Amino acid sequence: MFRDRRDAGRQVAELLEGHDIEPDVVLAVPRGGLPVGRAVADALGVPLDVVVARKLPAPGNPELAVGAVAADGTVWLNDGYVADLGVDESYVEQATEREREAAARKLARYRGDRPAPDLAGKVVAVVDDGLATGATVRACVRQVRDAGAARVVVAVPVGPPDTVERLREEADEVVCVETPPHFGAVGQFYESFPQVSDEEAMGYLE
């Protein structure tokens, strides 16, 4: 059980240090990932920035993600879900463009006038407040790799074992403090897990 997102971030930082992982930069997934990422970046003494992706909702079921798209257009699709649900190509294309635009707007709002960090040759830690399906984080990892990162590490407080294992196909390493076998939702592992507003989240970047 984590007290809150800052406590979770401190534990993630300790785990990274225990694995001798020294990221050059921390990229947090807004909004909930930013308080975690701030704690990680502060503990390790490295810069904090954001990486943004959006889920591609299944037709008629917005809670189910058939994939995700990052702000730069990098896409990850859950081919199994796409096939099982009979999702056609035109739906995927329309959803991808719609969600890419939304991700790009969010990134622009968060980053403001600051230039994007140069990730070429860097060790990058992608941080969120927890994993469920891992869809958005997969798209984020692909975007970071496409930006030239030498090594991409996913660092999170909690996630189901199967999601963590599948993420190892995308990231060079996945570091997770807790991988409980009985997983319902990320929030159940926090004593305090309030919604994070855009304004609060952006404050962690200052």
Read off the pLDDT of residues 32-89 as tens digits, 9 standing for 90 and up.
999 999 999 999 999 999 999 999 999 999 888 999 999 999 999 999 999 999 999 9
C-alpha span between 22 and 151 (Å, rounded): 11
Regarding whether 94 and 193 lie in a shared domain, the answer is no
Regarding whether 135 and 48 lie in a shared domain, the answer is yes
The pLDDT of residue 205 is above 90:
yes
- For residue 62, the model assigns a pLDDT of 87
Counting DSSP H helices and E strands in the chain, the numbers are 7, 8
115 found inside a domain: no
Q: Radius of gyration (Cα) for the chain, nearest Å? A: 16
With residue 90 as reference, give the H or E element that holds it: helix 89-111
Tokens 């990486």 appear where?
51
Report the 10 Å Cβ neighbour count for 24.
18
Instruction: State the amino acid at position 113 in one-letter form.
Output: D
Regarding whether 138 and 105 lie in a shared domain, the answer is no
Give the range of the structural domain holding residue 79, as residue numbers without chain letter.
54-110
